[in-house]
């Protein structure tokens, strides 16, 4: 049963400081990425926020806590992590005209269990010196023998790469996906290691020529004096699937089943989908706003336009277990 909040309750919540509540958040997102948002939210509403960074075992933790859980919201990245907490039965559906107006249907659960807040693309970083424009245009191109010893990537079992593999499977079939994984593995310059930024550093150091990573890391590196030189050594390439667009994923929010501060939690959810928060996401985190009319940052726009893939993220999430099994079968990380 979805929750609805009377308008008078919302008015009282925002109008009477004595009734203002706190919001407790379990977050997969790094604290420094969400702190600017939460600080702005508190400044505007007077509602305080408390964040616990939960790197692993979010669903297990909420399940163990049950009705005693202090968490109101889950903030996380990747459709797989969102569906994981939903499938664990630790979230509740939310009905909100504001969320439905701000967030396009393709970025929210039809049952109201989760809502996307930002999007990001899984792209290719390509050496400016050693990779010519147009040399790599599709994800399928990554198996071309010309890239032998020239590709770097983080672990194949990381959520971002599992999602990409699941997307390959959504466009092709299991046999093709297995061959694709074997082909990419054969082209690796080194064992998968580190995060997306480490792959860009490896290109800068001449260890490889192309790497797979998320768009927003480029913005973060360019804003870091130590890493700006790494970022300056690569071009951003938006590859597509042979029969589709560029793989995109999202960050999102869900309300926990046990949420003790539902009204305040909904206020935060709606605020995160609004103009102010979406602009902070764009300018500070270099992510793609999901709300129509909110522009991407100038830096992100400078990377050029691209066509997002149209395969439903829920379909890709459903293929995640099979994708992970194939990654482990081909022993991608070794």
Q: What is the pLDDT of residues 64-106, one digit of tens each?
A: 999 999 999 999 988 988 999 999 999 999 999 999 999 999 9
Same domain for 206 and 105, yes or no, is no
What average pLDDT does the chain have? Answer: 92
Is the residue at 221 inside a domain? yes
Contacts 24+ apart (CB under 8 A), 310-315: 310/244, 310/245, 311/167, 311/170, 311/171, 311/244, 312/106, 313/79, 313/106, 313/249, 313/250, 314/79, 314/83, 314/109, 315/170
Predicted pLDDT at 2: 47
Is the residue at 1 inside a domain? no
pLDDT digits (tens, 9 = 90+) for 171-208: 999 999 999 999 999 999 999 999 999 999 999 999 99
User: What's the domain range around 97?
Assistant: 7-119+249-296
Lowest model confidence (mean pLDDT) among 12-21, 125-134, 157-166? 12-21
Predicted pLDDT at 32: 79
Which of 12 and 305 is assigned the larger pLDDT?
305
Same domain for 150 and 218, yes or no, is yes
Average pLDDT over residues 42-55: 95
Helices (runs of H) and strands (runs of E) counted in the chain: 15, 10
Same domain for 278 and 231, yes or no, is no
Same domain for 27 and 93, yes or no, is yes
Question: What's the CA gap between 65 and 326, in Å, rounded?
Answer: 33
Which of 233, 265, 209, 214 lies closest to 9, judged by CA? 265
Same domain for 167 and 84, yes or no, is no
Residue 251 token pair: 């960050």
Same domain for 164 and 32, yes or no, is no
Other C-beta atoms lying within 10 Å of the C-beta of residue 298: 9
Same domain for 110 and 234, yes or no, is no
Same domain for 212 and 316, yes or no, is yes
pLDDT digits (tens, 9 = 90+) for 10-30: 333 343 344 458 999 999 987
Same domain for 13 and 109, yes or no, is yes
Same domain for 185 and 310, yes or no, is yes
Count: domains in the chain:
2
H or E stretch covering 217: helix 215-222
């Amino acid at each position: 049963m979805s929750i609805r909040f009377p308008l008078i309750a919302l008015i009282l919540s925002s109008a009477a400081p004595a009734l203002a509540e706190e919001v407790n958040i379990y977050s997969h997102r790094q604290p420094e990425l969400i702190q600017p948002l939460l600080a702005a939210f508190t400044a505007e509403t007077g509602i305080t926020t408390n964040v616990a960074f939960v790197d692993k075992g979010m669903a297990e933790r909420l399940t163990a806590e049950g009705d005693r859980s202090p968490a109101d919201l889950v903030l996380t990245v990747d459709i797989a992590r969102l569906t994981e907490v939903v499938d664990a039965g630790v979230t509740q559906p939310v009905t909100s005209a504001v969320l439905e107006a701000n967030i396009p249907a393709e970025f929210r659960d039809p049952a109201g269990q989760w809502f996307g807040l930002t999007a990001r693309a899984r792209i290719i970083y390509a050496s400016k010196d050693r990779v010519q424009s147009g040399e790599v245009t599709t994800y399928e191109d990554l198996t071309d023998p010309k890239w032998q010893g020239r590709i770097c990537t983080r672990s194949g079992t990381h959520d971002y790469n599992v999602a990409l593999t699941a997307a390959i499977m959504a466009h092709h079939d299991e046999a093709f996906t297995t061959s694709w994984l074997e082909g990419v593995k054969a082209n690796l310059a080194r064992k998968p290691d580190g995060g997306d930024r480490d792959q860009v550093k490896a290109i800068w150091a001449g260890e490889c020529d192309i790497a797979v990573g998320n768009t927003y890391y480029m913005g973060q590196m360019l804003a870091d004096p130590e890493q700006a030189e790494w970022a300056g050594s690569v071009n951003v390439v938006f590859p597509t699937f042979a029969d589709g667009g560029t793989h995109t994923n999202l960050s999102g929010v869900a309300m926990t089943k046990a949420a003790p501060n539902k009204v305040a939690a909904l206020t935060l959810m709606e605020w995160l989908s609004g103009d102010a928060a979406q602009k902070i996401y764009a300018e500070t985190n270099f992510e793609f706003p999901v709300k129509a009319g909110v522009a991407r940052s100038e830096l992100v726009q400078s990377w050029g336009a691209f066509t997002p893939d149209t395969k439903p993220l829920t379909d890709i999430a459903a293929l995640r277990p099979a994708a992970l099994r194939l990654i482990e079968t081909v022993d991608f990380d070794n």
